[in-house]
Chains A and B, each alone.
Chain A
Amino acid sequence: MGLSTLSEWTGRIGELVIGASHAEGGTRSHVVRIGGERDLPYIGTHPSGHKPLVAYELADDPSLWPAAATRYIGDWVHDTADWAAYAEKEYTPDLIRLHLTSTRHRGFSDTSRIGTTIESVLQATRLPLIVEGSDDPAMDSAVYQKIGEAAEGERILLGTAEAGRYRSVAAAAMAYGHSVIAQSPIDINLAKQLNILLRETGLPSDRIAIDPYTGALGYGFEYSYSVMERIRYSALKGDTDLAMPMISSATDSLTVKEVREAQGSEAEKTAVAWELYSMLPATIAGASIVCVRHPLSIAGLKSAIDSLWNGENVEGV
């Protein structure tokens, strides 16, 4: 874009590594690095830091996943490992983000199955992995320990720590060498507080990714955009407690009314548009990883990010 920065920033965003190659004791084909920015995203002929990445989200129990996401993939969704392998080959995302939705069933207790699922996904794909555990504090301890153990050596990004429940996630990350997603409810101060809490458990700050929580487009996205900007400004101004890369996922995009009700040929287009037009702005606000659930969103998002990154004019974007 050829723009130069208007501010004299003093801070630098830390670098976070996801995945471990064979040489490092893991089995990934490559590792990814995020963060490292010294300026706002896409600024300068050679933007600072690492280029934003696109993660594809899938779930071990597709019945708890948006229909708009599973419909297009079809039968692959019934085997989590096959689903991951297929998505890697067909849609080439930068990362896979596995949500263990099976843990959300009432009375869930089969933690050994989580271990098997993670191991099979790690075998099926060579991409670096993000894993999302339970959302019930009562089972966190058992679930995160199992995830941590099953992915030992693979340096996954593990989610999600929140202010009220971060100990199990942090413990699993520290015990088995992973990193942590720290989520706060669209509030810069709570984001900072959680980072401090995590640091006090002994987790190094270069193993934290901030998730400021992202609302869907038309359903609060602008609040998330604004808080991401503020987190990034603070970090570049020297607040080291906020100088971590950010991850954003428009979690509710595929369940908003407009996407749910779109019919026929409009259905896929609407779903992709909803994801694309929230996740591309998220990278402009500072997100290093953006996550989508519709496979067709991946290519469009990657090419749009490339064009902003390289400063090219691409027709139709």
Chain B
Amino acid sequence: MISVEKAAHAGKESLKSRMAAIGGSFSYEETAYHLPVTFALTGNAVNSAEEAQKAYNASAENPLVAGECLQAFQAARNGKESPPYTGFIPDAVLRTLGYSLVDGSILGLVLVAGSPPAPDTAAGLCRELQEKYMLTFLSGDIIQSLTSSGVKVGAEYRLVPLGSRPSSAIHFIDIIARVAMMFGGVTPGDAGRLLAYAKERAKAIVIVFPGLNDEEIALIDAFCLLGIPVIAAGDYDGDQWIRVQPADAVRTGMELKGIKVSVTAIPIPMACSPAFEGKSIRKEEMQVEFGGGRSPAFELLRVRPAGEVEDGKVTVIGPEIDAIPQGSAAPLGIIIEVAGKQMKKEYEPVLERRIHNFVNYGEGSWHVAQRDLIWVRLSQEAVAKGVRIRDLGTLLAAKFRMDFPDLLDAVQVTLITDEKTALAERTKAGKIYQERDDRILGMRDTDVDTFYSCTLCQTFAPNHVCIITPERPALCGAISWLDGKIAFEIAPAGANQPVEKGKIIDMDRGEFEGVNRFVKKASHGEVDRCSLYSIMEYPMTCCGCFECIALTLPEVNGFMVVNREYKGLTPSGMSFSTLAGTIGGGAQTPGFAGISKSYILSDRFLQAEGGIERLVWMPAILMQELKGRLVENLRKKGVESLIDKIADETKAGTIEELASFLVSVDHPVLAMKPLF
């Protein structure tokens, strides 16, 4: 076992004494960047030994600078190595290379240095790199090892042989330094920018085999400063060197640098596209169903350490589709385990919500609801074409990787159709759901300084801005304050941005200086003021996605709420769709508000005009959905009797019927101050 620390120390001393011994003039040809590493790090253009020594001192004796100066010095003294070795690569070639990196035809850069134990190891590693669209540079004996086992090297094979000694590895860094200066706007001498560029943007990894001398170890060790992971497939022991088996080297390196080969086609016998999202599978078309109250079913997404997740692995525990009678209900547990460097536990529910979309993307699969309420169906047509339960797992694993390429490195799916296992796992899942709920429950708007925006709908309502608070979810009902916060963390330039609440203008109406400022900018100057808890004064704009519409009924001095699912006429004389056409499109319409169902349950529900006590009508279907929680809320407020005073279409279909109904039940609006 070689100690990297000791070897690097000795190597630095050796580089230092060799630097002191050089003389004369030398430079690289066909480049505008002099000795690129030295130039980028120090800003010094080196053409002679004296200048080299000066730059080396300026860099605080950086081994990269020494390595480059010595390499250039030797090339000038002894001439370039003969082909296939490339030595220093001219600017013109590099531009092409930079082009391919931006263009996406290569995904990243890899340096492989040293002497692999067996030719097969090297050949296998390089084949894997080629398959994964990496451009590989080779330094040292590996080149001999490859050619002797018949592997062709050369730029056209994406295997670039830099030089016969591992010290030629410095060319790998001069390439990165020049790409940073050409493409990254890094100015020579700005070492800080160079390091940041190399760390954040350069998709580069190094794989080292045995056979490096002390100087070469010092050189490679210095790569770590640039954020380039050093993967050791040999007996090296260093703090920053990651030891792996040769077979795992490529995967480990790519994961560390977040380089991902994108999944393009999902290998299942069923089409998969958002185009199928709205398609439902009726009972007569279905082969089998899961959950929906007929059998136990649940879904759960969990983050796991990278080592415990094998990307793309799908396990089915229990009977497959052919062992389940047609038309029956079977148990189903969907457990998705993900790993990713940037993945956090808090993101779990947001990603878990996507299971719904992804399953619906399948032409023959259908999904509703969430958590342990899910209801999933597979169609007879799909099963006849060969779709099996396992394919749902393949679909989910692939879609998660495709849609969250930056977040997830690996996704594995377990599908449980065995009743006993499903029940046991569902109990465990239940505890996790509860923990998640406890996190948002009881959060108040007054507890936070920041709300979140949503401008996802600006594609069709260009001036609409949703403001999401702990007590007022997005009007579509799909995004809570926590979801907004997490979405911002996942995609900082995305549609959910933090909105500083700022000074309170009117707490009753929910008008805040910071919110107004944000809304004005995000609505392109169209909306100056926005109150979050009022329907009459500066209500929030609506896109078109609202779950419900709340509107004032001046004749009875109250509000009514109608949900999207209700198809009939309301006491306002209009149906949901007519109303939606009136208020959507990003306009502010006093007297009307697009809201989510859960906002009706919020203590902030249109509080400026009296809140829930002014609610006089909602469709029976909506009342049925909310009743349990609404009764609880009313009980806490001490107005439990209100629940029976809210009319529905069976009690009042017209405004006249509603007026007489309200009198008959003595609804509190009768005593409230007039809305207008």
Contact = CB atoms under 8 A, between A and B. Distances in A.
Contact of B103 (A141, A176, A230): A141
Contacts of B99: 145, 148, 171-172, 174-175
Residue from the set B105, B184, B185 with the largest chain A CB neighbour count within 10 Å: B105
Interface string A293-305: 0000000000000
Interface stretch (A35-43, A76-84, A232-240, A244-252): A232-240
A148 B96 CA distance: 10
| Range for the number of chain B residues in contact with chain A | 20 to 34
Nearest to A196: B493
A119 to B, nearest CB: 16
A145 B95 CA distance: 10
A239 B184 contact: no
Nearest to A202: B183
A234 to B, nearest CB: 5
B524 A174 contact: no
A202 B182 contact: no
B104 A167 contact: yes
Given A175-B95, A188-B462, A189-B459, A167 B524 contact: no
B341 interface: no
A178 to B, nearest CB: 12
B458 A201 contact: no
A238 B458 contact: no
B651 interface: no
Interface in B337-387: none
Contacts of B279: none
Given A141-B105, A168-B103, A175 B524 contact: no
A204 B183 CA distance: 10
B95 A176 contact: yes
A4 to B, nearest CB: 19
A170 interface: yes
A171 B102 contact: yes
A230 B458 CA distance: 13
A238 B493 contact: no
Interface string A155-175: 000000000000110111011
Contacts of A148: 99
A167 B95 contact: no
Contacts of B100: 141, 171
Contacts of A141: 100, 103, 105
Contact of A202 (B102, B103, B493): B102
Contacts of B201: 202
B668 interface: no
A171 B103 contact: yes
| Range for the number of chain A residues in contact with chain B | 20 to 34
Given A175-B182, A238-B521, A170 B102 contact: yes
B274 interface: no
B84 interface: no
B269 interface: no
Chain B contact surface mostly = helix
Contacts of B103: 141, 144-145, 167-168, 171
Interface in A206-255: 230, 233-234, 237-239
A201 B101 CA distance: 10
Contacts of B104: 167
Interface string B551-589: 000000000000000000000000000000000000000
Nearest to B101: A171
Contacts of B524: 233-234, 237, 239
A141 B458 CA distance: 33
A94 B521 CA distance: 37
Given A170-B102, A196-B493, A202 B184 contact: yes
Interface in B457-496: 458-459, 462, 493
B23 interface: no
Contacts of A145: 96, 99, 103
A99 to B, nearest CB: 22
B98 A174 contact: yes
B102 A175 contact: yes
B462 A175 contact: no
Nearest to A173: B102
Contacts of B95: 149, 175-176
Nearest to B102: A171
B525 interface: yes
A201 B96 CA distance: 16
B120 to A, nearest CB: 33
Contacts of A176: 95
Given A141-B105, A189-B462, A202-B184, A175 B98 contact: yes
A5 to B, nearest CB: 14
Given A202-B183, A233-B524, A237-B524, A174 B105 contact: no
Contacts of A149: 95
Nearest to B493: A196
Contacts of B185: 202, 204
Contacts of B184: 202
B567 to A, nearest CB: 31
A204 B184 CA distance: 10
Interface string B165-206: 000000000000000001111000000000000000100000
Given A174-B183, A175-B95, A201 B102 contact: yes
Interface in A173-204: 174-176, 188-189, 196, 201-202, 204
Interface in B81-123: 95-96, 98-105
Contacts of B183: 174-175, 202
Interface string B63-86: 000000000000000000000000
A13 to B, nearest CB: 16
Nearest to B98: A175
A39 to B, nearest CB: 15
A103 to B, nearest CB: 17
Contacts of A189: 458-459, 462
A115 to B, nearest CB: 13
Contacts of B493: 196
Interface in A21-75: none
Contacts of B459: 189
Nearest to A189: B459
Contacts of A201: 102
A242 to B, nearest CB: 10
A202 B99 CA distance: 12
Contact of B102 (A174, A233, A234, A239): A174
Contacts of A238: 521
B405 to A, nearest CB: 13
Interface string B503-540: 00000000000000000010011000000000000000
Contacts of B525: 237
Interface string A133-148: 0000000010011001
A186 B95 CA distance: 34
A239 B455 CA distance: 14
A285 B182 CA distance: 36
B544 to A, nearest CB: 15
Contacts of A239: 524
Contacts of B96: 145, 175
Contacts of B182: 174-175
A167 B459 CA distance: 23
Contacts of A167: 102-104
Nearest to B523: A237
Nearest to B97: A175
The 7 closest A-B pairs by CB, nearest first: A171-B102, A171-B103, A175-B99, A171-B99, A175-B95, A237-B525, A189-B459
Given A141-B100, A238-B521, 9 more contacts: A145-B103, A167-B103, A167-B104, A171-B100, A175-B182, A175-B183, A202-B183, A202-B185, A239-B524
15 contacts: A141-B105, A144-B103, A145-B96, A145-B103, A167-B103, A167-B104, A171-B98, A171-B100, A171-B102, A171-B103, A172-B99, A174-B182, A189-B462, A204-B185, A233-B524
Interface of A: 141, 144-145, 148-149, 167-168, 170-172, 174-176, 188-189, 196, 201-202, 204, 230, 233-234, 237-239
